[in-house]
């Protein structure tokens, strides 16, 4: 199915350490997963995915275990997943996924980020149709033949297969097939580096360098926000 090209990269988390931000994001995902399905990764696929991703960013095992215990404690924080949609400058669509214990604070901050960078926060559904929600698995490239792997995994919901800029194999599947693909990879003892639910743009916008900087300013501000988990956009 050809090579998967990544959306243009930019410098992330200019003020904060990237690893600390990743740990915070995964900690919130653990809390949400435990609340929804319990503290046992063997019986909770969402939590199992969180633990896998924690390993992928070298989050210490004791921190993962502490996050699970904290999610079961009396003083646990109840996070709510809220998605915001809007436009960056020059018509670039943006989706912001958040995990928050105070939606009033979060929407005010997200709106501020849009407004201060010349963007506009929209209503639910205003740009969502420009993205496909997909599962994305990153596995180590150990010399596998992509065509053979494609044939092997197509019945598990494989939609795209290719390589990223670091040479890892990227497998994408529709959102509804995420669990099937996860099981298929486990059954074949294929080592998964990360497994995430992503919003892949169906079309992208190409801008000149100056215009792109304006868009990236908004994305950078959003990604630095404590409540923001992931940001997806249509900038090429």
Contact indicator for 197, 143 with CB cutoff of 8 Å: no
Residues with Cβ < 8 Å from 206, sequence gap 6 or more?
A: 236
**Residue 119: C-alpha distances to residues 77, 86, 96, 210 (Å):** 31, 7, 13, 15
Average pLDDT over residues 91-117: 98
Residue 30: strand, helix, or coil: helix
Q: Is the pLDDT confidence value at 1 over 50?
A: no
Q: Is the pLDDT confidence value at 201 over 60?
A: yes
Rounded distance between C-alpha atoms, residue 166 and residue 174, angstroms: 23
| 165 band by pLDDT with thresholds 50, 70 and 90 | confident
| 14 band by pLDDT with thresholds 50, 70 and 90 | very low
| 17 band by pLDDT with thresholds 50, 70 and 90 | low
Q: Is the pLDDT confidence value at 12 over 50?
A: no
Sheet of 93-100: strand order equals: 120-121, 80-87, 93-100, 228-233
Q: Is the pLDDT confidence value at 140 over 60?
A: yes
pLDDT digits (tens, 9 = 90+) for 31-90: 999 999 999 999 999 999 999 999 988 999 999 999 999 999 988 899 999 999 999 999
Average pLDDT over residues 3-24: 57
pLDDT, residue 198, reads 95
Backbone φ, ψ for residue 131 (5° rounding) = -130, 150
* Buried b / exposed e along 187-213 (16+ C-beta atoms within 10 A): eeebebbbbbeebebeeebebeeebbe
**228 - beta bridge partners?**
98
Q: Is the pLDDT confidence value at 18 over 80?
A: no
| 3-8-13-17 Cα dihedral, nearest 10 degrees | 40
How high does pLDDT run on average in the chain? 91
Rounded distance between C-alpha atoms, residue 26 and residue 44, angstroms: 15
Q: Is the pLDDT confidence value at 16 over 70?
A: no
Q: Which domains does the chain have, with CATH numbers?
A: 18-72 (1.10.10.200), 80-123+203-233 (3.30.70.980), 130-201 (3.30.70.980)
Residue corresponding to tokens 């010349």: 118
């Amino acid at each position: 199915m050809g090579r998967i090209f990544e959306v243009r990269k930019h410098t992330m988390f200019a003020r904060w350490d990237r690893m600390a931000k990743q740990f915070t994001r995964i900690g919130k995902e653990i809390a949400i997963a435990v609340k929804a399905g319990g503290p046992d990764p063997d019986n909770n696929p969402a939590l199992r995915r969180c633990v896998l991703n924690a390993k992928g960013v070298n989050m210490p095992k004791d921190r993962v275990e502490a996050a699970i215990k904290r999610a079961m404690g009396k003083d646990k924080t109840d996070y709510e997943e809220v998605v915001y949609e809007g436009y960056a400058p020059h018509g670039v669509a943006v989706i912001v996924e958040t995990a928050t214990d105070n939606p009033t604070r979060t929407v005010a901050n997200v709106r501020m980020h849009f407004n201060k960078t010349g963007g506009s926060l929209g209503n639910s559904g205003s740009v969502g149709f420009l993205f496909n929600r997909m599962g994305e698995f990153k596995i180590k490239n150990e010399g596998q033949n992509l065509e053979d792997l494609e044939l092997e995994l197509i019945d598990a919901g494989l939609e795209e297969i290719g390589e990223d800029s670091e040479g890892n194999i990227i497998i994408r599947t529709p959102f509804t097939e995420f669990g099937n693909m996860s099981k298929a990879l486990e059954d074949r003892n294929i080592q998964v580096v990360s497994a995430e639910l992503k919003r892949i743009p169906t079309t992208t916008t190409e801008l000149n360098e100056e215009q792109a900087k304006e868009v990236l300013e908004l994305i950078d501000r959003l990604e630095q926000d404590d409540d923001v988990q992931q940001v997806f956009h249509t900038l090429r």
